[in-house]
Amino acid sequence: MMMWPDQLPAFVPFFLAAALALVTRGRVRSVLMIGAVVLSGLHLWLLSSDITVSFRFLEYELTPYRVDKMSLLFGYVFHLAALMSVLFSLHVEDTTQHVSGLLYAGSAIGAVFAGDLLTLFVFWELLAVTSAFLVWAKRTERSYQAGMRYLIIQVLSGVILLGGIVIHLNTTGSIAFDFIGIDSLGGWLILIAFGFKAAFPLLHTWLTDAYPEATSTGTVFLSAFTTKTAIYTLARAYPGTELLIYVGATMACFPIFYAVIQNDLRRVLSYSLINQLGFMVCGIGIGTALAVNGAVAHAFVHIIYKSLLFMSMGAVLYMTGKIKATDIGGLYKTMPKTAILCIIGAASISAFPLFSGFVAKSLIMAAALKEGYEWIWLVLLLASAGVLKHAGIQIPYFAFFAHDSGIRTSEPPRNMLLAMTIAAFFCLAIGIYPAMLYRLLPFDVAYSPYDLTHVLAQTQLLFFAMLAFVWLNIQGVYPPEVRAVNVDAEWFYRKLFRRISASLFGWLWRTDTDFRKWALKKIDDITVYFAKIHSSTSGKASIIRPTGYMVIWVAILLAAYLWLLLSFPH
């Protein structure tokens, strides 16, 4: 089949660039990577929103490339995220990171343009494998162990997804990737698989475990693609599933309590990432046009400002070699540009007016009130205040202002600053002119975020949240920076399961050892017995007997056999 230019799948340039990155170095590789992302983005921008590429394979209709308004929205922001991530990593001479980063971004783009479940599964697994190398690229024992745990959970998600697809196919006879729902076992399994990558409660520990162990540049890639691909799949297959409202509300709340006690600032950002995903899942669960618009709009802006925050912390880690709140502080003196860019990201995630988070999150909040979910609205409102504390204030405060750590460094390389500046620009541009985002949303938007009541309510919330942070610090009540390891729900498999396994296998080894000793002793006893009876001096089996004895015993046995034969005829 001839492939016209507008039918070229958007992931192809990324895969080609990754292949060429294996055999190029230095400036050539940098130009190649940036060029591939930019050209692919321009190609996507010029596409219409009604392209479908499909063909038959065996009995099935496969649609590896489907372009509509929702997939285009995620395609745009994934290209922007790829551009920022690649630009941020140009100073790194590491083939593993460059190749896996391009393959990872391409896999995410392939997933959002997949029109059937089998194509989605292929890219779902590619996401898992390629992203694991970004964790392993740090090349430490901790990153290796975290990467293995990460890969196991991601592959488990793929196995569950495949099982769900098979059952869904048998139930419906279709592998089209559209609305699925939870009316069948297949739908439930697919939802659980999506839930792994969306970091549902108790399924989220891979994120907070692996992301902080990745390289300073690899974490920027990781923050953008996996979880937002999952949000896209939920928005495509499960809009209006009420269960997701309560799952999302839980996700929005519980990470706050873990984030405020973390010492590793990238782990703080990992928890805040889950918190923000909760808002998106809530919007998908509400399922109205306004709510789904809010969910995907929030995913769009979240990719940008979360990348900015991870880039700012990656710059701190790269320049100082430290990322713990107890080890850094006062860096605004020597990294003022990074500090300002970080504050822009913090203001965006906190949903300050005129910043991108404000114009996206408000869509979800308005939808919750409109559909009568007042308690959910209140929960999300409290979660918004928590976001300000642990991400809006805690990140820039402890990294740049809390105390003078005595570290004197400089601004990061220009490519890192440029990537952060691009992200900061979009954080401000979308916040000031939200129509540039709203016109990309899948449904028509008749909503103005800069309503006076909404602006005043949000400003008051942020003001009192900041006041509470200051008061708690002055009173010494706010959790201090402590060198500690805080274990989340992974306690069940990293601690409890490990102890149970150790006890169980210890008992098995002891039982096996005892049984082997008993069996060897019995074998030794039998060997000694036979050796004794065959002894040439006193053994009973070694006594020389006349041949007549054998004849007598043969006659006795023959007589017994004949008696049995005659007594019990056939």
Instruction: Please say if the pLDDT value at position 482 is more than 70.
Output: no
pLDDT for 3 beyond 90: no
Digit-coded pLDDT (tens) for 250-268: 999 988 888 878 888 999 9
What's the CA gap between 348 and 305, in Å, rounded? 6
Hey, which residues does 207 pair with through a beta bridge?
none
pLDDT digit string, tens, across residues 378-396: 999 888 888 887 777 888 8
Which among 130, 318, 285, 101 is positioned nearest to 198, based on CA atoms? Answer: 285
Could you please report the per-residue DSSP string of 321-353?
A: S--BTTT---GGGT-HHHHHHHHHHHHHHTT-T
What the block records as the tokens of 274 is 């889950």
**Intra-chain end-to-end CA distance of the chain, in Å:** 78
Query: Which pLDDT score, from 0 to 100, does residue 448 have?
Result: 84
**Closest of 297, 273, 269, 272 to residue 283, by C-alpha:** 297
Please state, as a whole number, how many other Cβ atoms lie within 10 Å of the Cβ of residue 439: 9
**Tokens standing for 358?**
């404000």
Q: What is the pLDDT of residue 256?
A: 86
Question: CA-based angle 440:441:445, to the nearest 5?
Answer: 110
| The predicted structure's pLDDT at residue 493 | 66
Give the Cα separation of 218 and 212 in Å (integer).
Answer: 10
pLDDT in tens, 19-59: 999 988 889 999 999 999 999 999 998 887 778 888 887 77
Rounded mean pLDDT of 5-28?
Answer: 88
Nearest Cα to Cα of residue 495 among 486, 507, 508: 486
Q: Is 146 left (phi over 0), alpha (psi -120 to 50) or beta?
A: alpha
Which is nearest to 445 in space by CA: 293, 300, 280, 292?
A: 293
Model confidence at 483: pLDDT above 80: no
What one-letter code names the amino acid at 326?
A: T
The pLDDT value given to residue 1: 43
DSSP 333: G
Give the long-range contacts of residues 428-433, CB within 8 A, separation 24 or more: 428/344, 428/354, 428/355, 428/356, 430/301, 430/304, 430/356, 430/359, 430/360, 431/348, 431/352, 431/353, 431/354, 431/355, 431/356, 431/357, 431/358, 431/359, 432/354
Confidence band (pLDDT; 50, 70, 90) for 438?
A: very high
- Domain residues of the chain, as ranges? 1-182+193-235, 239-479, 494-567
Retrieve residue 425's tokens: 């620009």
Q: How far apart are CA 327 and CA 438, in angstroms?
A: 42
Contact 449, 434 (CB under 8 A): yes
Count Cβ neighbours within 10 Å for each residue of 230-258 and write b for 16 or more, e otherwise: bbbbbbbbbbebeebbebbbbbbbbbbeb
**pLDDT tens per residue across span 84-98:** 999 999 999 889 999
**What percent of the chain has pLDDT above 70?**
92
Work out the average pLDDT over 495-520: 83
pLDDT tens digit sequence for 317-362: 999 989 888 888 889 889 999 999 999 999 999 888 999 999 999 8
Residue 445, pLDDT > 70, answer yes
Task: Name residue 179's amino acid.
Answer: F
For the chain, what is the radius of gyration of the CA atoms?
Answer: 32
- Comparing CA positions, the residue from 301, 346, 314, 356 lying closest to residue 80 is 301
Query: Residue 150 has what pLDDT?
Result: 93
The pLDDT value recorded for residue 124 is 96
Average pLDDT, the chain: 88
Amino acid at 394: Q
Convert the pLDDT of each residue in 523-541 to its tens digit: 888 887 777 776 666 666 5
Tokens encoding 551: 């004849």
Q: Is 272 strand, coil or helix?
A: helix
Do 441 and 298 touch, CB atoms closer than 8 A?
A: no
Q: What is the pLDDT of residues 548-561, one digit of tens each?
A: 777 787 888 888 88
SS3 67: strand
DSSP readout, 457-497?
A: HHHHHHHHHHHHHHHHHHHT-SPPP-------TTHIIIIIH
Our CA dihedral for 551, 557, 558, 562, rounded to 10 degrees, sits at 160
Give mean pLDDT, residues 420-426: 96
Nearest-angstrom CA–CA distance, 397 and 329: 8
Q: What is the pLDDT of residue 2?
A: 44
The set of residues, in sequence order, having a beta carbon less than 8 Å from that of 165 and lying 6+ positions away, is 117, 118, 121, 175, 186, 190
> For the whole model, what pTM was predicted?
0.86
- In the numeric block, the tokens 């994934």 are attached to 78
CB 328 within 8 A of CB 338: no
Sign of the C-alpha dihedral computed for residues 413, 405, 312 and 221 taken in this order? positive
Strands (E), 141-290: none
Residue 363 pLDDT exceeds 70: yes
Instruction: Please provide the size of the chain in residues.
Output: 570
Instruction: Give the C-alpha separation, 512 to 21, whole Å.
Output: 53
Please give the Cα distance from 107 to 128 (Å, whole number): 9
| C-alpha to C-alpha distance for 399 and 316, rounded to whole angstroms | 8
Is a pLDDT exceeding 70 seen at residue 480?
no
pLDDT in the model for residue 486: 67
Residue corresponding to tokens 């783009």: 109
If one compares 52 and 496, the residue with the highest pLDDT of the two is: 52
pLDDT tens column, 225-239? 999 999 999 999 999
> Given a cut of 80, is residue 546 above it in pLDDT?
no
Q: Are 391 and 375 in contact (CB under 8 A)?
A: no
Report the 10 Å Cβ neighbour count for 67.
22
Confidence of residue 5 (pLDDT cuts 50, 70, 90): low
CB neighbourhood size of 184 (10 A): 16
What's the rounded Cα separation, in Å, for the pair 259 and 389? 9
Contact 459/91 with Cβ under 8 angstroms?
A: no
SS3 207: helix
Residues 6+ away with beta carbon under 8 Å from 478: 260, 469, 472
d(CA 339, CA 199): 29
Whether 14 and 102 have beta carbons less than 8 Å apart is answered as yes
Average confidence (pLDDT) over 479-485: 63
Per-residue pLDDT at 544: 65
> Is pLDDT at 568 greater than 80 in this prediction?
no
- pLDDT recorded at residue 398: 87
